Structure 1
Amino acid sequence: MELLLILLLGIMYAAGVYLILRRSMIKLLLGIMMMGNGTNILIFVMGSITKGKPPVINTNHNIFQDIYADPIPQALILTAIVISFALSAFAIVLLKRAYALLQKDDLDDLNTPEEEDI
C-alpha cells in the first residue's frame, strides 16, 4: 500500500511541476493544487499507515499498550487541506480578475507592458 502511495506521490509531483512550467494561468493553478495534494500524501505516508486503535489510553494504563493510529499526521493533513483550499479560492478569484482585464491566459502578458506605436 505504501509503495502505491509513493508512486502516486511521484506522479503528482511530476505532473504538478510540468503544469507549473506552462505559460497558462489555469495550468499554473492546477499545478499548484496538484503539488499541494501530493504534499498531503507525503505527510500521510511519512506518518506511517497503521491499522490500529485510536490513541486513547485506557484508565488503568499510563502508556499505550497496543498499536495505535498516530493523530499528528492526520491533523497536519487536515490543516494543509484547509490552507490549500483557501489558496486555491484566492488564486481563482485573482486569475479571473486578471483574465477579465487582459482577455488573455498567457502569463508573459502579465509582466510585459504594452508598447505603444510611436
Structure 2
Amino acid sequence: MEVLMSILIGLLFACAVYLMLSKSLLRIIIGTGLLSHGAHLMLLTMAGLKRGTVPLLGENALFYTDPVPQALILTAIVISFGVTAFFLVLAYRAYQELGTDNVEDMKGTE
C-alpha cells in the first residue's frame, strides 16, 4: 500500500510543479493546492498506514493507531484552505485591476 501511495504522491507533486510553472495565476493556485494535498498524503504515509484500535487509557491493545499525524494533517488542511481562499481573492482582485491573469503581463514593465 505504501508503494501505491508513493506513486500517487509523486504524480501529485509532478502535476503541481507543472501547474506552478505556467503563466496563468489560476493554474498556479491550483498547483499550490495539489502540492499541499501531496504533502498531506506524504505525512500520512510516513506515519505508517496501519490498522488498529483507538488508543484508550486502561485498554491493553496490541495494535493502535497514533492520532498525532492525523491531527497534524487536519490542521494543515485547514491552514491550506485559508491560504488558498486568500490566493483566490487576491487573484480575483488582480484580475479586476489589471484585466489579465497572465503573470508576465502583471510585471508592470513597459
Shorter-chain TM band: over 0.9
SS in 2 for 1:44: helix
Instruction: Tell me what 1:97 maps to.
Output: 93
Give the match's secondary structure for 1:17. Answer: helix
Unmatched 5+ residue regions in structure 2? none
Aligned length: 110
Identity rate, percent: 39
Q: Which residue matches 2:77?
A: 81
The 5-angstrom pairing of residues 10-29 of structure 1 reads: 10-29=10-29
Give the structure-2-normalised TM-score: 0.94
Structure 1 runs not aligned, ≥5 long:
none
Q: Secondary structure at the match of 2:63?
A: coil
SS at match of 2:105: helix
Q: 4+ runs of 1 displaced by more than 6 Å?
A: none
CA deviations 1:66-100 (Å, max 9, x no partner) are 11101111011001100000001000000000001
1:36-75 C-alpha deviation (Å, 9 max, x unpaired): 000000010011011101111226xxxx651110111101
CA distance in 1, matches of 2:15, 2:24: 15
